[in-house]
Chains A and B, each alone.
Chain A
Amino acid sequence: MTSIHLNEHTIQQYVITGVLAGEEQKQHLLHCNYCRGRATAYKEVLAGIEGQSAPSFDFDLPALVMQKIPAKKPAISWRAVLVIAGLLVVMSLVTYNLRGVFGAVFKGLSLMTSSLIFIAVISVMIFQLVDMFNKYHQQTNALD
């Protein structure tokens, strides 16, 4: 049996894993009151640590956090899609009913001129719609 006391590291590892490196160390621990006392102290320390109750927040954390998280809007608003589709249907019906009037207006113009006017009007409308959509989003984000 070795007369050299086990070092702190060996004793800690023994207490945590229950394993000692060699027979000499086992024999030493068996017969050395001093080292057994230190091992017992470490066992008490570990038992004390593990015996502690886990702390918990005394407030409803999920509820508090959820209040601060903005509700995500779906990527596509189906209501907006329905409104746009409805508007398109109404515009198509109006255009179809007034086709005679439009025909009279564009009668004197060449195909090229009519096409240019048509493209210009559609482009302006698209720009206006995109701008309106962006402003709407900015305002809703500002409200959030």
Chain B
Amino acid sequence: MALLKADSAEDRYLVNLVLKGDNSAFATIIRNTERLVAQIVFKMIGNTDDMKDLAQDIYLKAYKGLPSFRFRAVLSTWIAQIAYNTCLNYLEKKKYALLGDWEGTAGDDTEETDHIPNTPVALADKEADQSVLQKQRTVIIHQAIETLPPLYKTLITLYHNEELSYGEITSITGLPIGTVKNYLFRARKALKEQLLKQYTKEEL
């Protein structure tokens, strides 16, 4: 909480400087929030040629909108919201589906005993070999994440990598908190299933 207060005090100071005409303060704001924006842009649209224009567009929108920013949210969350909406518009223009074929699937909280019967037990035995598996696991998970729809990738990154709260993710995406939790659940489950499938293949 103390960190949040310190951050918002710095945000307030920087925003006031920009509004008074000190544009170099805006460069500081960009540097402070660039990582979060990069996470969203990379997960939403991937590494495309349009990324440069899109990233600039996000910050130009933020600059123009700064006079109307009322500190109801943390500055980084507000800029992340602009980044998310800009990427969303881009995906809509390019006719990319935010959820792909995943809408309405993989949402049930069922047991999958019938699908992959022996692998979890085998995995439990492998618990001791954590260090050996670590590199391989990171590669497998990275590949699996890339197969997720843009929205799932973004939510997983915001929650697990950027350690944002459900409330902050809700502010950024505009999705209801229940939907955010549900999509995160589905994404984790899908990643786990892909990991298990990979291990099953290797065992065979």
A residues sitting closer than 8 Å to B (CB atoms) are 5, 7-9, 12, 33-38, 40-42, 44-52, 54-57, 59, 61-62, 64-66, 68-69, 71-74
Q: Taking CB as reference atom, which chain A residue is nearest B160?
A: A49
Query: Closest approach, in angstroms, between the C-beta of B151 and any C-beta of chain A?
Result: 16
In the complex, the answer to whether A34 meets B161 with C-beta atoms within 8 Å is no
Q: Taking CB as reference atom, which chain A residue is nearest B40?
A: A55
Q: A55-B42, A65-B27 are in contact. List 14 more A-B contacts (CB 8 A).
A: A8-B109, A33-B121, A34-B120, A35-B120, A40-B126, A42-B188, A49-B145, A49-B161, A50-B160, A51-B134, A54-B35, A65-B59, A68-B60, A73-B21
Stretch in contact with the other chain, from B95-103, B135-143, B169-177: B135-143
Query: Closest approach, in angstroms, between the C-beta of B41 and any C-beta of chain A?
Result: 8
Which of B59, B120, B137, B160 meets A61, CB within 8 Å?
Answer: B59
Task: Classify chain B's interface size.
Answer: 35 or more
A48 to B139 CA separation, bound complex (whole angstroms): 8
Among A12, A41, A68, which residue has the most Cβ atoms of chain B within 10 A?
A41
Query: Closest approach, in angstroms, between the C-beta of B161 and any C-beta of chain A?
Result: 7
A36 to B109 CA separation, bound complex (whole angstroms): 17
Which of A8, A38, A50, A61 meets B55, CB within 8 Å?
Answer: A61
**Given contact pairs A46-B160, A51-B134, A41 touches B192 in the complex (Cβ within 8 A):** yes
A38 to B138 CA separation, bound complex (whole angstroms): 17
In the complex, the answer to whether B192 meets A69 with C-beta atoms within 8 Å is no
A124 to B34 CA separation, bound complex (whole angstroms): 53
Which of A35, A54, A73 meets B161, CB within 8 Å?
Answer: A54
**Given contact pairs A8-B189, A37-B120, A61 touches B34 in the complex (Cβ within 8 A):** yes
